A and B are shown apart, each in its own frame.
Chain A
Amino acid sequence: MQKFANPTRFLRLQSAIQPWVVAATIVLFAAGLYSGLVMAPPDYQQGETVRIMFVHVPAAWLALMIYSIMALSSAVAIVFRHPLADLAAKTAAPIGAAFTFLALATGSLWGKPMWGAWWVWDAGLTSMFVLFLLYLGYIAVWQAIEDPARGALIARIVALVGFINIPIIKFSVDWWNSLHQPASVFRIDGPAIHSSILIPLLIMATAYTMLFLALHLSAMRAEINARKLRQMELAHVGSS
């Protein structure tokens, strides 16, 4: 772990694997979109609109995964004081927020033909909405605190407190939903799902993960360069 602590080492590694990650992203998206939008059968109830699922469901998975990565990075930052950990959490947040927004937007699009309304307070969408707010709060903390070292300390706390609360929020929203309306349309029931749908879904999920990886690695590179620039400016101000 400590081996990659050095930003130079990370930058070298990033340059080496970035082209492969980008290539994998393109191939997987081509395969996932073709199998999902062309090969998979239309739903007997929802018809062609069910294909939104192949864009919506993996985005929702990624939204949760990226917040978990942020929380994990924050925990690593606290325990091991790894210099890249805070940076990894910080740069993951806007990407996670974008995936959450994608899940919300596609969910809203899916809702129009399903329920005839652009937005319905379904349990899944509501939880996703609160998750989006948690992302916005985390990003706002980094923006509000000028000193990056202090910002990192506060952001860790915000990420971990949010992470502890996600299951509690999910549970409460499900409870709330069950009081007002039964079962969600978006529910994907694991094994019962047919492989003609599951396989494209998994390919899309891998494609999204690769896309996240590609974006995250370049965002981290950009952030490291921005810090170097700041250091140089500080040194310049200090010497004159």
Chain B
Amino acid sequence: MKILAALIRRDLTLAWRQGGGVGTAAGFFLTVVVLLPLGIGPDQVLLQRIAPGALWIALLLSVLLSADSIYQTDFEDGSLELMTMGPAPLEMVVLAKAFAHWLAAGLPLAILAPMLGFLLNLAPELVLPLTVAMVIGSVSLSLLASLGAAVIVGLRRGGVLVSLLILPLYVPVLIFGVSASRGALAGPDIFAPSLLILLAISLVALVSVPVASAAAIRAYLK
């Protein structure tokens, strides 16, 4: 536990000092949100209708992009190799790194996104359910993004590949996330199950992503 805490603390410090954390990702999030009304017109009614979905799409893109290099520097400078020689199993190491990414980028974005909803005329009563859904969903967003980062860690140009590999896996999170956000208006019989399914997806990711990420990283270290 102490071992993983050392790693999480280091990754958070690095994210803070090198701007790998929420700063750039939040800027990207804002850019997507600004492009949207420019693309479809400033119609307040239409914007209100699409606001939850648009915020979710901006969230998943910014989480994905902020994660694509979480293993890159550790791979290039040899730190990952030394980590495999440490007392902690690689599966726990990648879980700790994914958790650090969630703390540094996923969670702040999930809290920030609904607050910026006013830019898209988001109905005020949706802010709270959207926040709850995004915080739960961001766990699987961060985990899956970290898997994408692991799969391309040794490749020179992996950015586009990550989007192709991981965005399709974001489909369930997007659907149940938006469904939970809208469901609060529609009634509790859609809101509650959507949130529970979102939670279940995050748990599945929590169990399966570390195994897959560790396997991918081992393949690159060979």
What's the Cα separation between A160 and B190 when bound, in Å? 31
- Number of A positions contacting B (CB below 8 A): 27
In the complex, how many residue pairs between chain A and chain B have their CB atoms under 8 Å apart? 76
Interface SS of chain B: helix
Interface SS of chain A: helix
The answer to whether B172 touches A172 (Cβ under 8 A) is yes
The answer to whether A140 touches B151 (Cβ under 8 A) is no
In the bound complex, residues from chain A placing their C-beta under 8 Å from that of B215 are 153, 157
- In the complex, per-residue mask of B145-164: 1 if CB is within 8 Å of any chain A CB, else 0: 00100011011001001001
Q: B165 in the interface, Cβ–Cβ < 8 Å?
A: yes
In the bound complex, residues from chain A placing their C-beta under 8 Å from that of B167 are 133
Given A144-B155, A157-B151, A171-B172, CB of A133 within 8 Å of CB of B164: yes
The answer to whether B165 touches A179 (Cβ under 8 A) is no
In the bound complex, residues from chain B placing their C-beta under 8 Å from that of A214 are none
> Which among B151, B152, B171 is the interface contact of A130 at CB below 8 angstroms?
B171
8 A Cβ contacts from B76-128 to A: none
Closest B residue, CB atoms, query A165: B169
> Which among B169, B172, B201, B220 is the interface contact of A161 at CB below 8 angstroms?
B169
In the bound complex, residues from chain A placing their C-beta under 8 Å from that of B164 are 133, 136-137, 140
Q: B208 in the interface, Cβ–Cβ < 8 Å?
A: yes
What's the Cα separation between A232 and B186 when bound, in Å? 66
> Which among B158, B190, B208, B216 is the interface contact of A164 at CB below 8 angstroms?
B208
8 A Cβ contacts from A193-217 to B: none
Measured between C-beta atoms, what is the minimum distance from A82 to chain B in Å? 18
Interface residues on B, range: 20 to 34
The answer to whether A150 touches B179 (Cβ under 8 A) is no
In the bound complex, residues from chain B placing their C-beta under 8 Å from that of A150 are 154, 219-220, 222
Measured between C-beta atoms, what is the minimum distance from A43 to chain B in Å? 31
Q: A175 in the interface, Cβ–Cβ < 8 Å?
A: yes
What's the Cα separation between A133 and B171 when bound, in Å? 11
In the bound complex, residues from chain B placing their C-beta under 8 Å from that of A162 are 168-169
Closest B residue, CB atoms, query A129: B168
Measured between C-beta atoms, what is the minimum distance from A14 to chain B in Å? 29
What's the Cα separation between A140 and B148 when bound, in Å? 13
In the bound complex, residues from chain A placing their C-beta under 8 Å from that of B203 are none
Q: B191 in the interface, Cβ–Cβ < 8 Å?
A: no
In the bound complex, residues from chain B placing their C-beta under 8 Å from that of A37 are none
The answer to whether A172 touches B155 (Cβ under 8 A) is no
- A sample of 7 inter-chain contacts (CB < 8 A) reads A137-B168, A140-B161, A150-B154, A154-B151, A161-B208, A168-B204, A172-B172
Taking A153-B222, A160-B212, A164-B204 as known contacts, 16 extra A-B pairs with beta carbons closer than 8 A to each other, sorted by chain A number, are: A130-B168, A130-B171, A136-B164, A137-B165, A140-B164, A140-B165, A144-B152, A144-B161, A150-B154, A153-B215, A153-B216, A172-B171, A172-B175, A175-B176, A176-B179, A179-B179
Interface residues of A (CB under 8 A from B): 130, 133-134, 136-137, 140-141, 144-145, 150, 153-154, 157-158, 160-162, 164-165, 168-169, 171-173, 175-176, 179
